[in-house]
Amino acid sequence: MSLVINSNVLAQESARKLVDNSEKYNKTLRQLASGNRINTAGDDPSGAAISKLLESKVRSSNQALRNTNDSISLMQIMDGGFVGISDVLTRLRELTLQASSDTIGDTERSFIQEEVRNSLEEITRITQSTKFNDTQLLSQTKGDLDFQIGINHGGLGRKTFDLGSVNCSLENLGLTTFNTSTKENAQKSIELVNNAILQLNQKRASIGGFQNGLEATRAKNEEYTFNTDAAKSRIRDADFAEKASDLAREKIMTEATAGVLVNANQKNALALKLII
């Protein structure tokens, strides 16, 4: 081996290796600190692009899932209104049958009519007070509710519900002429209340089917979000066991290279001893 003083190739090579090992060591430290294998686009260009796309889909799917849960809550509030109206209609039917019989007189029918009046007012109150976020649910004559339950525009990403189909006003239920003040009126009102109960059951069945569809969509969204998040994790997240092993190896390599560099820098001192 030649002993030269103008160039120290070993020191230069050791310095370059020290820089490389230090960069690898620092990169592994960043990965362990962040928990991510990919912290910059340079770590894995294609993986960074794919993981960002998957992250966007996961976040969008989570929002769609929250929208779906809110939609189910809305339908449950609507169904609660139907339950209240159904109870009132059941009571109205009892009163109508009682007033249709000659076992009571007009005085008793006047008492029954007073309860009927209060019951009809209760139906109107329930209809007008059943709301979700200030949106009246049972008193709209027309209009649609759009539920964004997917990550795409239109199609499978959105469901629409016709509010007009569940209108429960007295006019819509056919109870505006409901009256039990006389036996004849009470007998005519039996058919009215029977039709109202039938209508209400049909409306409730429609929202039940719609709600079942929302719950199926929720289950699908949950599975999609889980699988997409798992795919993102496999691409972006760091394997701590692997990175801990890499960190130990790179620390040893960095320290060893630093030691070699110190010895290489002392090489030129040997030449000085030859002339002193």
Quote the CA–CA distance of 15 and 172 in Å, as a whole number.
87
Q: Which two tokens stand for residue 108?
A: 């008793």
pLDDT tens across 31-53, in order? 677 777 777 777 778 888 888 89
**Percent of the chain's residues with pLDDT above 70:** 88
Q: Tell me, what's the pLDDT at 38? A: 73
Record the pTM.
Answer: 0.76
Residue, of 261 and 88, whose pLDDT is higher: 88
The confidence band for 1, taking pLDDT boundaries of 50, 70 and 90, is low
pLDDT for 98 beyond 90: yes
Q: Tell me, what's the pLDDT at 6? A: 58
Q: What is the amino acid identity at position 170?
A: L
pLDDT for 75 beyond 90: yes
Do residues 19 and 259 make contact, with C-beta atoms less than 8 angstroms apart? no
Q: Is the dihedral of CA 256, 261, 262, 263 positive or negative?
A: positive
| CA distances in angstroms from 110 to 24, 105, 181, 187, listed in the order given | 92, 9, 6, 15
Average pLDDT over residues 162-189: 94
The confidence band for 9, taking pLDDT boundaries of 50, 70 and 90, is low
pLDDT tens across 221-272, in order? 999 999 998 988 888 777 667 767 777 777 787 777 777 777 766 666 666 6
Parse the chain into domains and list their residue ranges: 9-35+242-275, 59-236
* DSSP output for 162-192: EGGGG---HHHHT-TT---SSHHHHHHHHHH
Judged by average pLDDT, the poorest of 64-73, 86-95, 249-258 is 249-258
Give me the chain's average pLDDT, please. Answer: 86
Average pLDDT over residues 192-219: 94
The confidence band for 4, taking pLDDT boundaries of 50, 70 and 90, is low
The confidence band for 273, taking pLDDT boundaries of 50, 70 and 90, is low
pLDDT tens across 113-161, in order? 999 999 999 999 999 999 998 899 999 888 899 999 988 887 778 999 9
CATH architecture assignment, domain 59-236: Up-down Bundle (1.20)
Length of the chain measured in residues: 276
3-state SS, one letter per residue, for 200-255: HHHHHHHHHHHHHHHHHHHHHHHHHHHHHHHHHHHHHECCHHHHHHHHHHHHHHHH
| CA distances in angstroms from 67 to 52, 140, 209, listed in the order given | 23, 22, 18
From the list 226, 203, 194, 93, the residue with the least C-alpha distance to 140 is: 203
Do residues 248 and 241 make contact, with C-beta atoms less than 8 angstroms apart? no
Q: What is the amino acid identity at position 268?
A: N
